[in-house]
Amino acid sequence: MKIDLTDTTSSKINATLIDARRAIGTATVGMVLTLVIVTDEGSAYDALKAASDASREHPSRILAVIKRPGRSPRARSQARLDAEVRVGSDSGTGETVVLRLHGELAAQAQSVVLPLLLPDAPVVVWWPENAPVNPEKDPLGTLAQRRITDAVAAESPVEQLATRAASYAPGDTDLAWTRITPWRSMLAAALDQKHVQVDSATVEGESDNPSTELLALWLAERLKIKVERKVSEGPGITAVRMHTVDGDVCLDRPDGLLAKLSMPGQPDRMVALKRRETSELIAEELRRLDPDLIYASAVRYGVENLHSASSVREVVEAPEPATAPVPSKTAKKTASPSRTRK
């Protein structure tokens, strides 16, 4: 069911949601959180589709905030709220409200969104593009327990990591980090099987790929080693080689679908390591609402050593505590990375 509301208010939208749920015989009891998507018209369709698919795992109220302040002084002075309410099969397993904020109202999005939040339920805010410099201090970000950005959408994705490090607050995360969860899980499991000291590592991936940089930073910070960053044709991350005295532990994925895991003294194994859709990434992030301290350590570590893409980039050794934004360059080696979240 879809219902269009023109020049409306938050209270009218709430009343429409109640009437629509009664009409189709559903309730809000099964919804576990409110997902606020801050987007524009061009990105709204893809973002809403991803959120709707993710709601099959996490039934939620989805609020898409589309700001349309207008260009002329007259347009900016005419505040108006238009909404599209979707319930039932048109909104996955939850319900969706598309909010179009016109004129001066575009600068007061939090006042429109606040009355529409599910009571006593967590709030997650996602910026598919054009994320604020400091998500925690954004008016909508202050309403949320979890704030999701995506460095890939930035004009300079790798340099965007420095912005994320400088403004990090508990509850922040980035989809560039979420994309490397399978890589981190596979590499940690490999070192659980092969108890050897890693002397150094090499990470290969596309130029200006923030996920490649984060994986290199994570390895350097957790293992206290030097990690060389090499540019490949892609797609995404293509290989990780951890160098040990017994030989290389190598996870090689040249096609973005299937990877080969090679370990000294063991036969090669093929493992599924496909590049995931945005809906899968959002679903993963909605599984946890507590601060991701491993992400915080990785994104803060060595961020001042990130430069524009080149054919080879080296990540310096990790500092003792990985919490300070300015790292030192000396640290001792450890045996293996900590457990990653699944």
Is 96 in contact with 86 (CB distance < 8 Å)?
yes
pTM of the model: 0.84
- Of 286, 254, 250, 341, the closest CA to residue 51 belongs to 286
pLDDT tens digits along 24-46: 776 655 788 999 999 999 999 99
Q: How far is it, in rounded angstroms, from Cα 24 to Cα 38? A: 28
Q: Tens of pLDDT along 246-265?
A: 999 999 999 989 999 999 98
pLDDT recorded at residue 92: 64
The three-class DSSP label of residue 38 is strand
* pLDDT for residue 234: 84
Residue 306 pLDDT more than 70? no
* Residue 235, preceding peptide bond in cis (omega within 30° of 0): yes
3-state SS, residue 319:
coil
What is the average pLDDT value for the chain, to the nearest integer? 85
| Mean pLDDT within 40-66 | 93
Domain ranges for the chain, please list them.
2-149, 181-315
Quick one: average pLDDT of 189-207?
Answer: 90
Question: For residue 310, is pLDDT > 60?
Answer: no
Question: What is the token pair recorded at 223?
Answer: 């293992």
pLDDT (0 to 100) of residue 218? 94
Distance CA 103, CA 18 (A): 28
Nearest residue to 148 (alpha-carbon basis) of 278, 333, 274: 278
pLDDT band at 76 (very low <50, low <70, confident <90, very high): low
Structure tokens at 16: 């429409």
Q: How much is the pLDDT for 309?
A: 33
Q: Which of 37, 26, 34, 61 is nearest to 121 (CA)?
A: 34
Report which residue type is found at 131: A
pLDDT at 78: 79
Span 139-197, pLDDT tens digits? 999 999 999 999 999 999 988 999 999 999 999 999 999 999 999 999 999 998 878 88
Per-residue model confidence (pLDDT) at position 330: 33
**69 Rama class: left (phi>0) / alpha (psi -120 to 50) / beta:** alpha
Mean pLDDT of all residues in 99-109: 93
